[in-house]
Structure 1
Amino acid sequence: MSADLTVLRTPRRRRDATMLTLGLFVAIVSAMLPVFSVIAPGPWVAGAVLVTAGVLGAGLLVRIARLPAILASAIELGVWVVVLTVIFGRTTALLGLIPTPATFASVPGLLSGASEEIRLGVAPVEPAVGLAFLLVGAIGGLALVLDHVVLTARMPLLAGVGLVAVSLIPTIAIPSDVDIVAFVLLAASLLFLLRVDTRARAIAASDRDPAPRRLGASSTALGVAAVAVIVAVVATPLLPQPGLRFATGGTGGIGTTINPNLELGNDLRQPREVDVLTVRTTGPTAPYLRAVTLSRFDGAVWQPDSSDTVPVPPDGPVFDRVGVDQDIALADWSTTVTVDQLDSPWLPVPYPASTVTGLSGDWLGMPQNRTVVTRAGSTRNQVYEVQANVPRPTLEQIRARQVGSPDLDPALSSLPPDVPAVIGDTARQVTAGASTSYDALIDLQTWFRSSAFRYSLDAPVEAGFDGAGMDAVADFLQVRAGYCVHYASAFAVMARSLGMPSRIVIGYLPGTASSIPQQGGTEYTVTSSQLHAWPEVYFQGIGWVPFEPTNSLGVPTNFASSSTTGGAAPATPEEDAAVPSTAPSPAASSADRGDTGAVEAGGAGVGARTGTAWIPSVVIALALLLLAAAPSVVRTIVRRRRLAAARAGDPVAAWTAMREDAVDLGIPSPASVSPRAYAAQLVDEHGVDADDVDLLRGALEEVSYAGTAPDAAGGPALADAVERIRTQLASGASRTRRLVARVAPRSLIVRPGAEAPERETTAV
């Protein structure tokens, strides 16, 4: 009968290995699909599929031939190298497939090119040779590792954790809809792997133990899991939509995203700028483009506004016309925006927008601040037209208006109780001669733009106040050198200290006018270096009025007197505060350069970093270290508990602890082997002291078969025997095996008694 079972096991083993290999291939392809939101599909996809199929196919053939498992990994590694050589290194390879020293010498150049593509690219990146090499090589390497995990170590659950992590990375990096097809395919393939592996273990165990076994438990569990996947797919769209995901400095390429957290320093200090969008307007000048407003300030952080939204219709108004007093003139301007390398959920629009048409995807408008956002899409490649109703008060009209309104949120004027005295004292000192609120704000703007201040991207970093909190504002007023974030935050906080409601806007400065005449108005190009922040103050009967305190950038706000215009509107467009322009002014030459600071000065700020920019990297590194150390820590805790129970006289705990030590070192511990047979195996094949093993085995048999109560007095001897056996087993293992046993203990996944009997004679 034993011979018959042996014959039957071979075809079944081949079938199980084939099914596991196919399931793993589908799982890897499924995990790769969400990457398309970050990396555009292309020829590299075929290369990735080819190298994955080659690696997994080679491993399957080795296992069918019943060769050692280590040989499978070696052959897979060779196939990985050969396939990469055929795809990327044929010109330097021998016969087009055998790598030469010149082939290996080309790898650093490819990796350098990939790094540059990642650093400069905007999702979805069109990969060149370098990035394609990195992607194909990484996916092939993942296939090699997971093949060992699933088919050699028989730990499909661990492989599933890795594949899920890979599939989640693109979703975390880029705001987008969940890829339902990829999710279902990945979940189904992982469930398939678990099912095949579980059934193979159960059937193999039944071969050694003919007693009837019930295999329905695993089917029930996998059925529950399948139902959970279906429920997740059906129920997820019905759940409330998540809030917008805020980018942190430096993501999305070189300034090609909009950071609403006032951490623009890293984006502005990038060494290279790119064109993010173009603007064509019917107005006399290019408008500032606003994307995000920040109204709530707790003393440390300005919070982006998040309020009720309304859907943006395909045609028709998004917002009502601007509510201004009857004597305030309104100008209707049309602006067409074509987005290039900008990937953001916030849509740059002129203020105050009323109608936005031409957008693709689902977009939402925030009536509170007239901004437009999406929860799942992106500005990438959008072309849209914005109609704006621009208030154009005269100097007399805005001077006659009071700031604030009873209907405004009190948070727009609030400050924390611990405001540094220098902020309020300086605000009152600078505005001491002002007779109106508007005059006080102009005094503040003029003071910031005077020679007393200097624009710099480096000084904040060197002084350690690269931020917008209260302490950063106080330091900025002392050092008097900084960039737009410092000027905008200082202006807004000082305005609030004078009792004026204020907020901060993040968007783009007006672009550079094209020298080529365009039909439908002048075209302006906006670059990544023109990412900007500026303050606004609310005036009754007029609305939010922007100011430009940043020294040497933009156009300062000024209104013309009606006596010079003969009407209600300003005499010149550049004096219109509602839309600061790029018309000639003392700052016009700087406006075209944008908020680039040290980059403008010949790259003095290239490579600069904030004093805390290293923190995310350190946190990620620590998290990875903790994750890597978790199995070892858990195993140590489990083992100490086993030894504590053994020291208290529990022979079952002592025997289990010994078997777990053996499993960690790669020694099989199948359930079909009796304690006597297993003890003899340890002595004969692994050089364990017979007295120590017999001590544990005898105590176990007395408790299990004779019904003898555990002897607490003999507990220390049991624990000491376990420790000695572990030392003896480790001394007979290789250094690599000992390291793996400590870092990735198998007993956490492969419990003693869970291994298939055929693994005693053949590696899978």
Structure 2
Amino acid sequence: MTATDVTVLRTHRRRRDALLLTIGLFAGIVAAMLPVFSVIAPGAWAVGAVFVSAAVLGAGLLVRLARLPAVYASIAEIVVAVVLLTAIFGRSSALLGVIPVPATFATVPDLLAGAAEEIRIGVAPVAAETGLSFLLVAAVAGLAVVLDHVVLTARMPLLAGVGLVAVSLIPTIAIPSDIDIAAFVLLAAALLFLLRVDTRARTAPATAPPPRAGSPRVVGVSATALGVAAVAVIVAVVATPLLPQPGLRFATGGTGGIGTTINPNLELGNDLRQPREVEVLSVRTSGSTAPYLRAVTLSRFDGAVWEPDSADTVAVPTGGDVFGPVAVDEGIAVDEETTTVTVDQLDSPWLPVPYPASAVTGLTGDWLGMPENRTVVTRAGSTREQVYEVRADVPQPTLEQIRARAAGGPDIDPALTGLPEDVPAVIGDTAREVTAGAQSPYDQLAALQTWFRSSEFRYSLDAPVDSGFDGAGLDAVADFLQVRAGYCVHYASAFAVMARSLGLPARIVIGYLPGTASGSPQQGGSEYTVTSGQLHAWPEVSFEGIGWVPFEPTNSLGVPTTFTSSSGSGGSTTPDTPGQDAAVPEQQPSTAPSQAARPDVDAQNGAGSTGVGRTSTAWLTPTLVGLALLLTLIVPSLVRTARRRRRLSAARDGDPVAAWRALQEEAVDLGIPASGADSPRAFAARLSADHGVDEDDVGLLRAAVERVSYAEDAIDPASGPALVAAVDRATARLRSEAPPVRRALARLFPRSLVVRPGAVEQERETVGA
């Protein structure tokens, strides 16, 4: 074979390997994205991420095929990623629609803020809007640039595999779910493919022809790869169900951490169906019964989604008097109650408070009050580990007083009675049929409440899923009225929509049912425990001169709202039929919202554990973060130290190649090029001339490695001590010549872990034309 034939064969092999590695890396990125769909709903962002990552990797491949230095490939990939991100998300301000200008970069903070807000208030799987789509596409593009460098420049596909596996595991950690077999198999196949191509490129002689597809060598390697993949899949499928199940998914809002959260999008079924309940908070109240805790109010309804209120807010002052007293008509009694809430495993930006709250004290962090609905929210903090006191002024109208009031009033927002034009006829027809003969708005609502709680309906967490209407939109309400089985979301949405069809202003509230008494009443109030299974949704209707009054239509859950005549006790009655808990409605009684009267929860056996003897875990998160940062800083140094000791150990046994590699790696760490094109003699001469290494030391190492490499001399164990001593002296000289900053970087972030001696030059040759 002539020299020209060898060059052609080598060029063909290098091009082929670069192409195969790029294809394998692209398949790995796509496979790692698939599990993300359980957290972020697939949509335009996924198409954009696949397209941009393919373009980025393609640009890098073209640069390498042009035999340009590897650094140009990374530059080209970054340019392509920026141009495509600009064309997709910033073309309105960009030059020619693709070239970013300062105004384009100025939009990035707003996009990231929008992404943070979507993540904060979203519920999995989140439908990505513009901000979140930008973040996801940009993240995938950045991942493609980094992994392309790791796989094709540094030639470390195993390290890239660790990164891809970590990305694919994040959604599973966030929301525990079954393993995605297809994504797992695809990712495993992509990683095995990368390792196979890289290994073949390293070991195959330059003059050897590519092995045929049917050769024994290829068949053996393929069979081994398939065997490894099959074993991995079997282990994952069989072992995963045997692992301990996580208690709850990670919060979709707040600062993160294991616990539970408040879902503002009326998809509470997943929360209620969690396999294990946890205590989310405890309540101590001056009232005779536990209060209902509201967190989010949803007033806007477009026919498909109830949206959380986003009205004007005011800062919660130090004194806590954020809302002021409740305004009611003269003659309506108002009870003042004080409640202390201690939050445990609740991670949410919405603060659970009794209604109607007047003042909130004891909060840490920046909190905002929403006067329109008397709720409290934070933009940056969380409810986790908060302990606060709430004063609530609760109106107590009589039956005659509420019957005499009109629903709403002249100042009511028309949106609170609005419905889309395409409301299914069954909703309005049923509402009018059920309320026929009612003499007042309150009587209409009481009739609806009684009808929902009758034997015609039943509570079920599974029926909406089985019947395909697990939602709160108009179609789901219509289906619910036909099936007549569901949980609080369906009852609340149906009640509110039917009330609006009668012209009554209605909205939905998300919060918690009253907790379970955790001990005997004590001086200063009774204490109650609230669990994750008591997350609840209920409707409210506004009455002129009284305010918003909650109702409880959910069948077999809690107690319906009722009022007594002024000739009786002057307030609301305490119903004598206990309800049942949201988590296990067939077995465990609980309570339900009723503004005018709160049921006696002392006699309940609600799900949840007592709230005594809790230990604060506020220190855990910063400690873990600190440990993670510390490990990030010291792990590269530890790995480099271990590698150097291994090299010197081999050198001490007389291996000159290990001694020479130890010197090369030290040079790379200190920023000294160690090109694969340099012979040992050329590299030794450069170290002596440019960096002051003693010629005797580097000459000893160079001569020893040349004898072993070219003369094929046997390794002489007796020469080991001299080799190690020469490496130590040469290393010390290189370090003394390097600036202090370079020495520090060499210790903390050694480059030789990523860019091995000769890798850059070798890469340029490998992908040459």
Q: TM-score range by the shorter chain?
A: 0.5 to 0.7
Structure 1 residues 492-540: Cα deviation after superposition (integer angstroms, max 9, x where no partner): xxxxxxxxxxxxx652266535559xxxxx98489xxxxxxxxxxxxxx
- 2:52 matches 1:26: no
Q: What does residue 408 of structure 1 align with? A: none
> In the aligned structure 1, how far is the partner of 2:653 from the partner of 2:12?
47
- AA matched with 1:146: L
> In the aligned structure 2, how far is the partner of 1:208 from the partner of 1:673?
24
How far did 1:691 drift? Answer: 2.6
> In the aligned structure 2, how far is the partner of 1:335 from the partner of 1:28?
48
> In the aligned structure 2, how far is the partner of 1:72 from the partner of 1:585?
70
Q: What does residue 115 of structure 1 align with? A: 116
Task: Tell me the percent identity.
Answer: 48
CA RMSD of aligned residues (A): 5.0
The correspondence of residues 265-664 of structure 1 with structure 2, limited to 5 A, is: 265=343, 270-272=348-350, 336=458, 357=463, 359-360=465-466, 385=485, 447-448=521-522, 452-453=524-525, 484-485=528-529, 506-508=532-534, 511-513=537-539, 515=541, 524=552, 572-573=576-577, 578-582=589-593, 587=598, 612-627=617-632, 629-643=634-648, 653-662=658-667, 664=669
How far did 1:674 drift? Answer: 7.0
The verdict on how the C-alpha distance between 1:681 and 1:193 changes in structure 2, with shifts beyond 3 A counting, is farther
- AA matched with 1:255: I
Q: What does residue 229 of structure 1 align with? A: 229
Of 743, 747, 752, the match for 1:746 = 752
- AA matched with 2:174: A
Q: What does residue 699 of structure 2 align with? A: 694
> In the aligned structure 1, how far is the partner of 2:714 from the partner of 2:594?
100
Residues 279 and 345 in structure 2, CA contact (< 8 A), matched pair in contact too:
no
> In the aligned structure 1, how far is the partner of 2:484 from the partner of 2:226?
43
> In the aligned structure 1, how far is the partner of 2:104 from the partner of 2:345?
37
> In the aligned structure 1, how far is the partner of 2:752 from the partner of 2:31?
27
> In the aligned structure 1, how far is the partner of 2:225 from the partner of 2:39?
29
- AA matched with 1:618: T
Structure 1 residues 288-321: Cα deviation after superposition (integer angstroms, max 9, x where no partner): xxxxxxxxxxxxxxxxxxxxxxxxxxxxxxxxxx
- 2:711 matches 1:710: no
List gaps (5 residues or longer) in structure 1: 275-330, 339-346, 348-355, 362-380, 388-441, 455-482, 489-504, 517-521, 527-545, 547-553, 557-569, 596-609
How far did 1:184 drift? Answer: 1.3
- AA matched with 1:447: P
How far did 1:336 drift? Answer: 4.3
- AA matched with 2:735: T
> In the aligned structure 2, how far is the partner of 1:443 from the partner of 1:41?
44
> In the aligned structure 2, how far is the partner of 1:193 from the partner of 1:117?
36
> In the aligned structure 1, how far is the partner of 2:160 from the partner of 2:129?
30
TM-score (norm 2): 0.55
The verdict on how the C-alpha distance between 1:5 and 1:85 changes in structure 2, with shifts beyond 3 A counting, is same
- AA matched with 2:644: R
The correspondence of residues 85-234 of structure 1 with structure 2, limited to 5 A, is: 85-203=86-204, 205-207=205-207, 220=220, 223-234=223-234
How far did 1:386 drift? Answer: 7.6
Q: What does residue 721 of structure 1 align with? A: 729
Q: What does residue 262 of structure 1 align with? A: 279
The verdict on how the C-alpha distance between 1:506 and 1:76 changes in structure 2, with shifts beyond 3 A counting, is closer
- AA matched with 1:272: W
Residues 662 and 726 in structure 1, CA contact (< 8 A), matched pair in contact too:
yes
- AA matched with 2:525: F
Q: What does residue 284 of structure 1 align with? A: none
How far did 1:149 drift? Answer: 1.1
- AA matched with 1:616: T
The verdict on how the C-alpha distance between 1:267 and 1:680 changes in structure 2, with shifts beyond 3 A counting, is same
Structure 1 residues 106-127: Cα deviation after superposition (integer angstroms, max 9, x where no partner): 1111111111111111100011
Q: What does residue 428 of structure 1 align with? A: none
How far did 1:158 drift? Answer: 1.0
Q: Secondary structure at the match of 1:512?
A: strand
> In the aligned structure 2, how far is the partner of 1:443 from the partner of 1:667?
72
How far did 1:756 drift? Answer: 8.6
How far did 1:235 drift? Answer: 5.5
> In the aligned structure 2, how far is the partner of 1:696 from the partner of 1:208?
32
> In the aligned structure 2, how far is the partner of 1:444 from the partner of 1:189?
54
The verdict on how the C-alpha distance between 1:708 and 1:191 changes in structure 2, with shifts beyond 3 A counting, is closer
Q: What does residue 448 of structure 2 align with? A: none
Q: What does residue 292 of structure 2 align with? A: none
Aligned residues: 503
How far did 1:357 drift? Answer: 4.6
Structure 1 residues 434-478: Cα deviation after superposition (integer angstroms, max 9, x where no partner): xxxxxxxx9986625xx6137xxxxxxxxxxxxxxxxxxxxxxxx
How far did 1:272 drift? Answer: 2.9
- AA matched with 1:105: A
> In the aligned structure 2, how far is the partner of 1:444 from the partner of 1:747?
57
> In the aligned structure 2, how far is the partner of 1:590 from the partner of 1:187?
54
> In the aligned structure 1, how far is the partner of 2:517 from the partner of 2:350?
35
Q: What does residue 75 of structure 2 align with? A: 74
The verdict on how the C-alpha distance between 1:15 and 1:359 changes in structure 2, with shifts beyond 3 A counting, is same
- AA matched with 1:720: D
- AA matched with 1:746: S
Residues 642 and 653 in structure 1, CA contact (< 8 A), matched pair in contact too:
yes
Structure 1 residues 530-554: Cα deviation after superposition (integer angstroms, max 9, x where no partner): xxxxxxxxxxxxxxxx9xxxxxxx9
Structure 1 residues 170-198: Cα deviation after superposition (integer angstroms, max 9, x where no partner): 11211222111111111111222222222
How far did 1:7 drift? Answer: 3.3
Q: What does residue 50 of structure 2 align with? A: 49
Residues 555 and 580 in structure 1, CA contact (< 8 A), matched pair in contact too:
yes
- AA matched with 2:577: P
> In the aligned structure 1, how far is the partner of 2:704 from the partner of 2:535?
81
TM-score (norm 1): 0.55
How far did 1:41 drift? Answer: 0.9
Residues 679 and 693 in structure 1, CA contact (< 8 A), matched pair in contact too:
yes
How far did 1:11 drift? Answer: 3.1
> In the aligned structure 2, how far is the partner of 1:197 from the partner of 1:220?
17
Q: Secondary structure at the match of 1:710?
A: helix
> In the aligned structure 2, how far is the partner of 1:186 from the partner of 1:523?
51
- AA matched with 2:618: A
The verdict on how the C-alpha distance between 1:443 and 1:748 changes in structure 2, with shifts beyond 3 A counting, is closer
Residues 59 and 76 in structure 1, CA contact (< 8 A), matched pair in contact too:
yes
> In the aligned structure 2, how far is the partner of 1:762 from the partner of 1:444?
71
How far did 1:138 drift? Answer: 0.5
List gaps (5 residues or longer) in structure 2: 255-260, 264-270, 282-342, 353-452, 468-478, 488-515, 543-549, 561-573, 581-587, 607-614
Residues 654 and 716 in structure 2, CA contact (< 8 A), matched pair in contact too:
no
Residues 150 and 159 in structure 1, CA contact (< 8 A), matched pair in contact too:
yes
Q: Secondary structure at the match of 2:11?
A: helix
Residues 195 and 219 in structure 1, CA contact (< 8 A), matched pair in contact too:
no
Residues 150 and 157 in structure 2, CA contact (< 8 A), matched pair in contact too:
yes
